[in-house]
Structure 1
Amino acid sequence: MEKNVLGTNVIAQIGILVHDIEKTAQVYADFFGVEKPAIELTGTLEEAQTNYNGDSTEARAKLAFFDMGSTQLELIEPDEHPSTWREALDANGEGVHHIAFVIEGMKEKIKVLEANGMPLQQTGEYPGGRYAYIDTVKDLKVLTELLEND
């Protein structure tokens, strides 16, 4: 395997799948003694252009973000449509879904990761950037999310 594939070793985010984001976000807020963040809904198919395992999907998710110093904690409650979030929540239950890194050169990074046996699983757009989930579970024991901001 190539070394320093991502060009960074700084974890920007840890994503956690939950069944009830309102309840879980309040528990985290109370635990950390912070205000509960607003719950956001990911964009529609037209906005997010979500693609899962090579197919377009209407998948959406409710998100809550806790900024915890240099790392962000993301809670994710997926809807019923096919997605990496729905698949993982159904298969494994609540818990850690991914670790995320801010990168540059999304297309090139995906090609390098795929060449190293780490396939692309899901992509999408968000205001100001794009994301990609890479199946690194075999090697890293967790999915990797790439975040590229404009």
Structure 2
Amino acid sequence: MSRIFGQINQIGYVVRDLHAVMEHWVAQGVGPWFYMDPVVTDYVRYRGADSGMKMAAAVANSGDIQIELIQPLNDEPSLYKDFLDAGREGAQHVAYWTADYQELYDRALSLGYTVAQEGAIQGGRFAYLDTETHPGTVIEISDVGGAKGEVFAALRDLAAGWDGNDPIREFG
């Protein structure tokens, strides 16, 4: 538990082949997976500038922890592209969820964190804090005060009762 951010709710992986990685996780017994290709964003800003970044994403739960897979779909600037361009693939961020996004966002900035990438999906804001200069994983904060929180809770509940059938499902 972080006294600043709370509990980790999600581990995010940046991958080159979303479907192959979903299949890998299914073989480990994690699912069902819900994917969107492409994800429609309201906006994305990378290091303060608008970005036309496109991505596919998938989520599944392992208990209370959500696993997110992100595959960049173009060469527009993003932390995901940076991660792959650096020769990495795999765990890229941990996410903390909050129903009071603006309060957590302002608190993080007041503590000296800077925003490397931010955006919104269907009004739900998210920000990746610039922690790349320190060894470790990027920190994401995400607004779950509205519909996104309800969807994530429903997906967690579906995973808890999953019988192994229909392991990969298109979302949306």
Normalising by structure 2, what TM-score? Answer: 0.73
**Secondary structure of 1:136's aligned partner:** coil
Is 1:146 paired with 2:141? yes
Within the candidate set 59, 72, 82, 2:53 is matched to: 59
Q: Distance in 2 between matches of 1:26 and 1:107?
A: 36
1:47-86 counterparts in 2 under 5 A? Answer: 47-79=41-73, 80-86=75-81
Q: Distance in 2 between matches of 1:138 and 1:113?
A: 16
Deviation at 1:34, TM superposition (A): 4.1
Alignment RMSD (CA, Å): 2.0
1:8-47 counterparts in 2 under 5 A? Answer: 8=6, 10-32=7-29, 34-35=31-32, 37-40=33-36, 41-43=38-40, 47=41
Determine what percentage of the aligned residue pairs are the same residue. Answer: 25
**Contact 2:11 2:94 (C-alpha < 8 Å) held by counterparts:** yes
Deviation at 1:18, TM superposition (A): 0.6
Is 1:122 paired with 2:117? yes
The amino acid across from 1:98 in the alignment is H
Deviation at 1:135, TM superposition (A): 1.5
Q: Distance in 1 between matches of 2:26 and 2:139?
A: 25
Structure 1 gap segments, 5+ residues each: none
Deviation at 1:4, TM superposition (A): 2.3
Deviation at 1:85, TM superposition (A): 0.8
Structure 2 gap segments, 5+ residues each: 147-172
Deviation at 1:139, TM superposition (A): 4.9
